[in-house]
Amino acid sequence: MTHQDLHIDIRGEQQEIAVIRLTRAKKRNAINDALILAIRDAFDGLPATVRAAVIDGEGEHFCAGLDLSELQERDAGQGLLHSRMWHAALERVQYGPVPVIAALHGAVVGGGLELASACHIRVADETTFYALPEGSRGIFVGGGGSVRIPRLIGAARMTDMMMTGRVISAAEGERIGLAQYLVPTGNAFDKAFELATRVATNAPLTNYALMHALPRIAEQPADQGFFTEAMMAAIAQSAPEAKKRVRDFLEGKAGTKVQKS
Ligand code: 1HE
């Protein structure tokens, strides 16, 4: 499966990891209409063997955001539909078939940060920097950033980034919650792949609960959240795979004892 600006490679002994790479390095992986649709189609079309995905960008930068050259000609109605097209594509990333680990380096800006924030785990190397230049370009986020980014770092920090053009460094990004992992320069992909390989060994229903139930529970009032949690817990623990995993642990057969890292 390959698109002009998006390369998809299925790896792993059981073909369980999809590596999805933005390959528009000449334009700093800026996302035009064709590319956002290719991202949508990539997540719709993953083979059934895939259990986790890594997304990264070719060249010096993860992603320079929206392709600004396509912005000039749109009227209000087209702008609305364009934003909704991004929402639909990034919805497939967040609520798609498998957990997605973003491997970040260089610029993670504008729509690039919106794409990264739709992923489940973000690994950044030391070259990474984050910004929301929409504020300086006279526009607003349109790829779900106003919903997802405040949930990672709070509305106050996002307001500051957009109002002042503040650029967040890799270290600060990890501290405030833009990335869960910070690794040395050049190591983001390997770490993301290692994590994806680990995530792929989870029971699929556990990953499903983490992707689909947890973010919804986090939005619910506590009483409803507790109830949804109980329903999800009951469904997850009734799966034969959960019973086998618990039995293996109790019989000392599981290699997944909790260890200090
Ligand atoms: C682009 C884009 C782009 C680069 N659209 N063409 N995003 C931004 O406002 C960020 C704009 N980009 C930058 O600030 C810089 O390009 C970077 C910091 C990411 C990288 O800098 P650098 O020095 O490595 O590259 P460059 O020389 O600026 O760019 C190389 C080429 O990529 C150049 O084209 P060329 O034909 O002159 O070689 C640039 O024009 C092109 N390029 N970024 C189009 N974004 C769903 S709504 C989301 C709203 C947004 O994302 S707004 C924020 C957009």
From the list 13, 70, 73, 114, the catalytic residue is 114
Question: How many C-beta neighbours within 10 Å does residue 203 have?
Answer: 15
**Which of 53-67, 192-206, 231-245 is predicted least confidently?**
231-245
Domain boundaries, the chain: 2-199, 204-250
Flag whether the pTM goes above 0.85: yes
Ligand 1 center from residue 61 Cα (angstroms)? 10
From the list 70, 134, 174, 219, the catalytic residue is 134
Task: Map residue 108 onto helix, strand or coil.
Answer: strand
Task: Determine the Cα–Cα distance for residues 152 and 111; give it in Å rounded to an integer.
Answer: 15
Give the percent of the chain with pLDDT over 70. Answer: 98
Ligand 1 center from residue 163 Cα (angstroms)? 19
In this structure, the residue with its CA closest to atom 42 of ligand 1 is 27
Look up the CATH number of domain 204-250: 1.10.12.10
Pocket of ligand 1 (CB under 6 A): 27-28, 30, 60-61, 64-69, 86, 107, 109-111, 133-134, 137, 141-143
Q: Do domains 2-199 and 204-250 have the same CATH topology?
A: no
Whole-number pLDDT of residue 135? 87
- Can 134 be counted among the known catalytic residues? yes
DSSP for 229-258, written as a single string: HHHHHHHHHHSHHHHHHHHHHHTT--S---
Let me know if domain 2-199 sits in CATH 1.20.1050.140.
no
Ligand 1 center from residue 28 Cα (angstroms)? 6
Cα torsion 234, 49, 214, 247 to 10°: value is: 40
Instruction: Give the tens place of pLDDT for each residue, 4-38.
Output: 999 999 999 999 999 999 999 999 999 999 999 99
